Structure 1
Amino acid sequence: MIGVLEGFFVIAVIIFVGFGLGRAGILGPNAQQVLSRLVFFVATPALLFETLQTSAVEQVFNANLLVQMSSAAITLLLYLGLARWWWRPAKPEWLIGGMCTSYANGGNLGIPLAVYIFGSASYVAPIMLFQIALYGPIMAAILDVATGTRRTGWQKIVRPVTNPMLIASVIGIILSVAHITLPDLVLQPIGLLADVAVPGALLAFGISLSGMSSLRGSDGRHDVTVITVMKLVVQPLIAYGIAAGLLGLSGMQLYASVAIAALPTAQNLLTYATRYERGRFIARNSILWTTVLDIPVLLVITALLAP
């Protein structure tokens, strides 16, 4: 328990440093975008590759993946049913809201949490692969239909396949399955780039918090309130029920499954809302409030479940 709290302290300090840098404007107005792109396109792919090429396949495609997929799907369906019955939003906003309840921030917060608290990025890799390769493309296709957006079949295939984190993960898994070990001359620079992932993600996360503000407006307030509760309370409870009740997980596996389910709404959902020009209020404010409230939620989960 002491080690877990020390890990949270380390994470909090780096986030606070990023927040201070953002408020002071020391790194310039585009610091968060530049850092985020560095983490997304270079550092996190390197970390996932480094982790997965030395991990057994059963460490990746394990019970945790089943917990995350199931809890995300159930939470999504619960939100869609509740929203349709209660306040009946337009279909695009309805779908964006559903994604906000179940699409987790695996990069900026999930990777540091997995590395510092759980001891390995392999804990969060499954949910990132699921979101990148399956969940995101499926929801994007549905949004295309709902908004009348036209994209060719080729574009729908190429977009997720060219994601650098997916490419690095697949290559790492292939090397692991084939029992191929790369020479140190190749692994050492990859390792150095991977070392940037955690501090880079946390600094970018802190800087993003310094610039966050709630969009004003009345449309979508029901959505944001419900989304925040469902993302930070309902999905972790569902994950706990599946992990402990159905799969019999315990110890670090149970703790990691519930904590990962409690990660805040992914920041790239604002990209979805902007891309389709619908639900921007919902996406922006859901990201803001789930992010701000997430650390207290994770601390409660830690107090209850950390081994």
Structure 2
Amino acid sequence: MLDIVAITAPIFLIIGAGYLAMASRLLNREQIQGIGTFVLYFALPALVIRALTQNPLSDVIQPSYLLAYGLGSLLVFSLALVVSLTLRRKSLSESALLSLGMSASNSGFIGYPLAATVLGASPAAIFLALNMVVENLLIIPAALILAEAGRQSGASILTVARKTCVRLVRNPILIGLAVGLALATSEISLPGPLVQVIDMLANASGPAALFVIGGTLYGLKVGGMVNDVGQIVIGKLLLHPLAVLLLFMLQPPVDPVWIAGALLFACSPMISVYPLLGRRYGMAEVGAAALMVGTLSAFFTLSAAIWLMHHYGLLPD
């Protein structure tokens, strides 16, 4: 078990460093947001571009992975939506945001650094690119379209979908995906200095992202939101990875590394921008509290998940 803690501890120590930087007033909220902007607009797109251009496209695009991770995420999203609407009597907007928290992982800020530590940087970057496709083209648009439909009851679903898609097109991760796919399919070789710049930016993504998560957690509070936070955290850290595993089990056998990578990302807490996405629909405080509890709880659930994957042979000894 100490070997497992040795894997997860550095991840959360860097998160702790970000938290301490805020608590000691070494950095302020705006400076942490500036680092987050660097990661989101430069480091992560560079990481995605590198994953798509440094590996044969046939090795990157894995239909079985996309099917298992995509349908597993969609299954949890749908289940959460039904439970929130029918059993908990939440509005459509609230239900959509609760569902988003349970089915969209913090792939860039926690999933990638963790997978890179456990499996290596190259496969982790491929998993990140695939997960970004699922999250940015399926889960996040579905949640925002439903949330906006609940907020604008007079607008047609097509109008809401169009406006949401227009906003998503400007997402830097999607731009990175588009650039990476264009370069990979055209087989254009980038100049050496540009490749080096992409490598340098990509290598900075892991530690910088973890540091930002720690700074973001400082000052967040949980009080009075136990039911909502509990639903989101249990759904994200337990139901999401179980659903992804179930979808892999229903398919023909695949390389265990693909299953391990999917589970590491699915076991990660909710997306870091979750509170920001919830602000428009009155869910900012719930999102912030869920992000804090989910990130802290993930230390234990991820350690347990890695141990189980070792025990069942999904990870090398």
Tell me, yes or no, if structure 1 residue 173 matches structure 2 residue 181: yes
Match of 2:300 in 1: 296
- How much has 1:161 moved relative to structure 2? 1.3
Code of the residue aligned with 1:17 in structure 2: it is: A
Unaligned runs of 5+ in 1: none
How far the C-alpha of 1:152 sits from its partner, in A, is 7.3
Taking a change above 3 Å as real, the CA distance of residues 295 and 173 of structure 1, as seen in their structure-2 partners, is same
Matches within 5 A, 1:123-272: 123-148=127-152, 155-214=163-222, 216-217=223-224, 221-272=226-277
- Corresponding residue for 1:33? 33
Deviation at 1:195, TM superposition (A): 2.0
Distance 2:161 2:237 in 1: 35
The TM-score with structure 1 as length reference comes to 0.89
Q: Distance in 2 between matches of 1:34 and 1:254?
A: 34
Q: Is the 8 A contact 2:85 2:91 kept in 1?
A: no
Task: Give the distance between the partners of 1:124 and 1:5, measured in 2 at CA.
Answer: 23
TM-score of the superposition, structure 2-length normalised? 0.87
Equivalent position SS for 2:258: helix
Which residue number in structure 2 is paired with residue 86 of structure 1?
87
User: Which residue of structure 2 aligns with residue 104 of structure 1?
Assistant: 105
When residues 88 and 10 of structure 1 are mapped into structure 2, their CA distance, relative to the original with a 3 A threshold, is: same
What fraction of aligned residue pairs are identical, expressed as a percent? 23
Deviation at 1:86, TM superposition (A): 2.2
Structure 2 CA distance, aligned partners of 1:239 and 1:247? 14
- Report how many aligned residue pairs link the two structures: 303
> C-alpha distance in 1, partners of 2:229/2:81?
13
**C-alpha separation between the residues in 1 aligned to 2:93 and 2:231?**
17
CA spacing shift, 1:2–1:185, aligned 2, 3 Å = farther
RMSD: 2.3
> CA separation in 2, counterparts of 1:106 and 1:233?
16
In terms of mean alpha carbon deviation, does 3-12 or 128-137 score higher? Answer: 3-12
Deviation at 1:132, TM superposition (A): 1.6
Runs of 4+ in 1 over 3 A off after TM superposition: 1-7, 149-157
Contact 2:213/2:272 (CA < 8 Å) preserved in 1?
no
The CA deviation at 1:233 is 0.9
Structure 1 Cα separation of the partners of residues 203 and 4 of structure 2? 20
